[in-house]
Amino acid sequence: QVQLVESGGGLVQAGGSLRLSCAAFGRTFNAMGWFRQAPGKEREFVAAIRWIGGSTNYADSVKGRFTISRDNAKNTLYLQMNRLNPEDTAVYYCAATRATMPTPNLYEYEYWGQGTQVTVSS
């Protein structure tokens, strides 16, 4: 049974940092990504990484502030978020895909975590 378990969300002041983790159980994947959904908005792509080789892809809104990484031995995905601002407030989801590249297309992701809330206060 495939399971993705996120952790690391919380409340932080603007300018602060958080690190999200996503442990994957049941199998390994070609690529994994982070998405987020703010209240009243559609789920949007944040970042993705290819498991082998580590090539990455970022949304323009987070480039230079967020870093996606993975630990192959632990089968765990991370998202280091720096210089957070209130517009980053959302539920963050990790997701896994059999696509061979770190795709930003959420419809290519087959497995999803339960989500973790990130709230940035001004």
Tens-digit pLDDT profile for residues 80-105: 999 999 999 999 999 999 999 999 99
Query: What b/e readout covers 4-28, taking b as 16+ CB neighbours within 10 angstroms?
Result: bebebbeebeeeeebebbbbbeeee
| pLDDT for res 28 | 85
Model confidence at 14, in pLDDT bands (50, 70, 90)?
A: very high
> DSSP letter at 2?
-
Q: Tell me the three state secondary structure of residue 88.
A: helix
| pLDDT for res 22 | 97
CA angle, residues 6, 70, 113, in degrees to nearest 5: 25
Q: What's the CA gap between 22 and 77, in Å, rounded? A: 5
Positive/negative CA dihedral, 69, 83, 63, 112:
positive
State percent of the chain over pLDDT 70.
100
